[in-house]
A = this chain, B = another copy of it.
């Protein structure tokens, strides 16, 4: 449980412990200089960081090739992006936050100068990854292309911080960004969920958060599909009106049954299963909308005829745009759902590899594994 701000030691040392990625799967704990915040930047002392599926992917493969090469991997890069902590130093011109405040983070700070950033689509920044060298456009995606949270301190752009209320634990606060991704997806789908039906496919962290947020926004009914009863039960606690174990009932049939043949208005696809989009196309009614928050590793057959004939819109989402993390923090501060239910394990900074193993192998049914740093 986070102690109050005034009792914390905010002294900044010269160096810090940080995990760096040497090569595929090779994390190493090193001593690094604590970085200095520049204009519009803040130094955050990391208090807790959660492990995400994308961390596992980055550790295994390096940064996905689509972002572009030439980035500082396998050298000195620190992954980790679901972190929270305490403001300990302000860069020049920063007065939006004060030292000692507790904050959770967003991942993406757009360059602010490309076409997408100007439109407000900063998670789709066209200068993604350009934070280095002569071509530095100032884009940040902490834990992806700039140093992240498996460390004692991290730099954040002022745009990527949200306040954490006193009564929220560090562990719970690491889940704000996950809820933010769910909200970003629901925002793409239309935003005003109240009284409309939502199916969430895949009870991973983002799926569970989509259930929680969808219900908090008034969706009715919220249907969760998945393969493991333990996860589905958790989904029910987080707000799902119906949970469907796809090993016992066909999910499309179940959705049709629950909605009396009408289908749902919206599907949040969070499983990445090969047939998930086809099933979603059968779950929504004519004119319905589908958000893809996950995807299969390879191209999969999709029945596009259904998409066109039924006037269906499909929204791919990257990250937690449109200030979704602020919205997520507000819903969690209002205790609209109990995100803590998703937190299953805690380890120390020294134990990052163990935490990752628990998460990846789902040891003891791990969902959200949190590294407590300070």
A31-72 interface mask toward B, CB cutoff 8 Å, 1 = contact, 0 = none?
Answer: 000000000100000000000000000000000101000000
Which residues on B sit within 8 Å (CB–CB) of A287?
116, 119, 121, 124, 126
Cβ contact within 8 Å between A128 and B286:
yes
Contacts known (A292-B308, A293-B308, A310-B316); A192 close to B195, Cβ less than 8 A:
no
Contacts known (A118-B323, A137-B93, A192-B187); A309 close to B304, Cβ less than 8 A:
no
Taking the full assembly, how many copies of this chain does it contain? 4
CB of A24 closer than 8 Å to a CB of B: no
Contact of A316 among B113, B196, B311 (CB under 8 A): B311
Cβ contact within 8 Å between B285 and A93:
no
> Which A325-343 residues have C-beta < 8 A from chain B?
326-331, 333-334, 336
CB of A194 closer than 8 Å to a CB of B: yes
- In the docked arrangement, what's the CA distance between A262 and B192, Å? 25
Cβ contact within 8 Å between A96 and B113:
yes
CB of A220 closer than 8 Å to a CB of B: yes
Minimum C-beta distance from A45 to chain B (A): 22
A310-321 interface mask toward B, CB cutoff 8 Å, 1 = contact, 0 = none?
Answer: 111111111101
A residues near B (Cβ < 8 Å) are 40, 64, 66, 93, 95-96, 112-113, 115-126, 128, 134-138, 157-159, 183, 186-188, 190-192, 194-196, 216-218, 220, 262, 277-278, 285-287, 292-319, 321-323, 326-331, 333-334, 336
